Structure 1
Amino acid sequence: MEYRELPVPYYKINREFQVLSCSAAAEFIFPSTPSWLNLVDEGSQIKAKNYISSTHTNQRVELILSTMTQPFVPFDVYQRWDQDGSGHLVCISRAHQYTAVVEKLGELQQELKQGVYQREAPKERLGVQAYLNVNRSQNRELCSALETVRDLVDQMYPSLVEINQTDYADIIRRVIDNGLKNNSL
């Protein structure tokens, strides 16, 4: 089977990360580029340079890559290197694993926005005490939901540390902590 016909995103690169060939699936998902590193998010560049190499052949590396439709997509990059210095990379999306967390964060973001709008509602309509009670109740519910998501991330964190894949968990933690900080004001 030729590389072009592989049913997965595949790249053949040299030691300098120059693209030598790729599969049609890769061309469909990723923008065309002379250097494979151009697909790697700025935050994952150092990791890619350190771990996508012949010294790490047969190892999986999780990186954030830019696709034609989304700028930040988590991928597992499987690699094998030839004796001639050519790297064979297969890129498998991990976006589906983060969908639930992203959806929950989206819901929490909407709740935060709704809370802000309600804070801006005229106090005269509800009466000052009723207005404050509604906001306190919503803040408690929102904080509780954010803390639940943070607890779930904290449970996953030790497993992620073992495989050196804590980038997403750290981002989620920062967003949650920022939301809790902003909501407690």
Structure 2
Amino acid sequence: MQLYIKNMVCDRCILVIKEQLNKAGIPYHKVNLGEVELENEPAPDQLDNLNKGLTAIGFELLDDKKEKLVEKVKNIIISLVHRSGEGNNKKLSALLEEKLQLDYHYLSNLFSSTEGITIEKYAIRQRIERVKELLTYNELSLSEIADQMEYSSVQHLSQQFKKETGLTPSQFRELKDKFRKPLDKV
């Protein structure tokens, strides 16, 4: 049995979800971003306890198939942008079609109607948050960041960054308070 959970965006989220599953006495095989593979179907009271525990800490069990699908799209993009150490030469549309086995136009329309932004815009916002993180660490040059984030050039990265944040990457790097958004708020 699969459970789908909204707002799981990082490895710490996975640890917190595992803790909640253990508290509720629900055995599981594995926990990935946004989804949990259970060993068997939990009792209604176990699910209720899990749902209460998750809600109290900002997560949400998803019941609606469309919400689950949108959450899967988000988690694929987050994994691609924030956890990928190696580039993926496929276009985002082709990657989503391959992973979800659904037509990209359907996914795009569903995502836009549910989230109020396009998949592409969501992916850009995630990339910019990752760039902010890399700028904050101050370990890589802008050229290295552009390469790592698979921008065609530093100029393209800078233009997209300025459009999203109102600052150039250099201006952002100089800020004392680096305003970054939690990934579930992007």
Normalised by the size of structure 2, how large is the TM-score?
0.23
Larger radius of gyration: 1
Higher normalized contact order (CA 8 Å, seq sep 6+, divided by chain length):
2
- Would you tell me which structure has more strand in proportion to its own residues? 1
